Structure 1
Amino acid sequence: MHKMLLVSKYTAIRQLVSSHLLRVLSIYASEKKISKVPESGIALYKSREICKVLYISGVAPSLAKVYQISASAIANQVVSHFCDFGESFRVKVVPPAWIHIEVVDCVIADWLESLVSETNPFFQASTNPYSFTPALSYLFPIQYAYARCCSLLRLAKHEGITLFDEVRQIPWLDSQAKLCLNDAASQSLIAKLIAVVDDLVCVNIASASHWHSKARSLSQAFERFWSHNCIWGEVKVFPELAHARFGLILATQKILRFLLEDKLGIIALSEL
């Protein structure tokens, strides 16, 4: 049986990976009778690959310098401890001593479900004051993408597609426990969502230009996703795939709204 992680307690995938890497390092430190590695000492970076959700840690070389231990030996022992988390991660050592942590599709599906959940506390209504400034031209593409998400979700509701069901989750996975959203445009959008939420949760940046760049990148990924997927033609032929795509639209809508209202101080317009 697949040993699933409780992703509901983690808003960002990076939080999830970091917390388990820290736990593994704590076990390693205890075994070696060395001081524990502080959370700030974990070097963790997300790969830019879109076909997989991969995080890379350079913690082994860092520890090797401090404790005068072989970096490859540290990396291999750390990786061996990840087996305690079942099949939630695919972990390996890449020479010279990089630790590659790939998050499996089942965990990504759980994260997406948590992201679109009506009870997710992180993406609740903004408490920041709005500027009420008329939409500037450089914000229009982001507003347009958000409004398009809203329009599509209204049409989905009109067609009887229920995205929130107490009994049945959005069908993110196929019969082989793989993400059914496996085309390049969908994977790119999922990768952007993960990267943006990682930044929102794990990085303390107040710069509006940074968040505008993130929102613009996400809106572009959404436009590519929408232009490459004929959702309405699949509603009756492939209902579960269409349902999952609407779920991805809902996730995008929530993050775009949060970026517009909480990070850019602009009212997110559901219609233009």
Structure 2
Amino acid sequence: MKVNLLTAAPYAVKMLLLNQLKSSINLYKNKLNLDKTIVNYNFESNIENIPLQRIHNDEKVIYGSAIALKLASQYKLAPVEIATQLATYLETTTDYNSNAKILDFFIEVSNSGWIYFNLTNSSIAVWLQHQLEISETLFHHFKIPEAKNIELKRSFSFFQIQYTHARCCSLLRLGDQEGLIQISRENHQCKFYIVEPKPIPWLNSGFIAKVFGNPTPTLPVSRGMEFCSSLHLIEQLLDLLDELSTANLIPPQKATSRLLKLTISLSEAMLNFDRTCRILGQVKTHPQLAQARLGLVAVTQSLLELMLRDRFGISAPEEL
């Protein structure tokens, strides 16, 4: 089944899904309480109690939840029965309006009772574009306190993150100079805001299709290293934003350690993307593809800047 989910600003896919699962569990609880043969079940539907993870896949963005197995083990019900019912509620309880940006998922229930959320290509484009358009202040929605550990700040890892951030800035400036994009700093003190093209041609360029599906016939056909690196970079963006959205649910020191690890992974993924994907030069024969890649660089730059400045309390240099 296909489900449209209302996005927030900014939003992380994991938190969005957790909130939907929470609502579905509460509805299922009400159903059981109305059944005279099943009463007094105390479902734990707090977000921190709901298992959800991104599933590694070479061609799709998939999240999976084993919540039905957890509930089945506690209440002696068949996991697939619970999962099927929860999936039905996920389809019928979504609240959105015509002006909202929408994430589309295809929901699948396995025979073992796992619930899988398959993100569509169009939703990946919506998600990426949304990260470009949100203002700098909206990132503070995550409420991430500055790291206080001085030894942590001296870590060599931070130089790599700073270098990667500076490299992103350089690529965006080059893209602007070459006329591929137009960037603005007005009202975005630390964020390179792409004014043109708007929206980024994520789908028209074939970029999303190349990474997650069949390449567009009019563009170079390849599923080699450059598209693997694009996929990996998008995955790291998803994972870091997901971790940010749930960081307040775990002890601060543990949250900082996990966020640093994911920020390093994002930095490494960006450097690999830079090595394997041509943005300028020959790729200019396909300007929309270059624009899509620059859009991905811009999303990465804004997130790295957020982590360096607001989480770790160090500078995010634009040049090194």
Task: Please state which band the TM-score falls in when normalised by the shorter chain.
Answer: 0.7 to 0.9
Provide structure 2 residue ranges, at least 5 long, that are not aligned to the other structure.
Answer: 34-40, 95-101, 184-193, 213-226
Aligned to 2:292: 244
Give the alignment's TM-score, normalised by structure 1.
0.84
Change (3 A) 1:53 1:121: farther
Aligned to 1:199: 243
Contact 1:171 1:244 in 2 (8 A): yes
Residue 7 of structure 1, CA deviation:
1.8
Q: Does 1:215 align with 2:263?
A: yes
Aligned to 1:119: 135
User: Sequence identity of aligned pairs in percent?
Assistant: 31
Q: Does 1:153 align with 2:175?
A: no
Contact 1:11 1:122 in 2 (8 A): no
Q: Does 1:224 align with 2:272?
A: yes
Q: 1:53 aligns with which of 34, 37, 61?
A: 61
Greater mean alpha carbon deviation, residues 39-48 or residues 52-61:
39-48
SS in 2 for 1:268: coil
Aligned to 1:106: 122
Provide structure 1 residue ranges, at least 5 long, that are not aligned to the other structure.
Answer: none
Q: Does 1:268 align with 2:288?
A: no
CA distance in 2, matches of 1:3, 1:44: 17
Change (3 A) 1:178 1:214: closer
CA distance in 2, matches of 1:43, 1:129: 27
Aligned to 1:168: 198
Greater mean alpha carbon deviation, residues 34-43 or residues 181-190:
34-43
Change (3 A) 1:264 1:170: same
Residue 179 of structure 1, CA deviation:
4.4
Give the alignment's TM-score, normalised by structure 2.
0.73
Aligned to 1:6: 6
CA distance in 1, matches of 2:195, 2:62: 30
SS in 1 for 2:137: coil
Aligned to 1:20: 20
Change (3 A) 1:87 1:202: closer
CA distance in 1, matches of 2:200, 2:136: 15
2:20 alignment partner AA: H
1:240-261 per-position Cα deviation (integer Å, ceiling 9, x unaligned): 2111111100011111111112
Q: 1:73 aligns with which of 65, 77, 81?
A: 81
SS in 2 for 1:25: helix
2:297 alignment partner AA: I
Change (3 A) 1:68 1:94: same
1:126-148 per-position Cα deviation (integer Å, ceiling 9, x unaligned): 985998x9975332211111110
Change (3 A) 1:79 1:234: farther
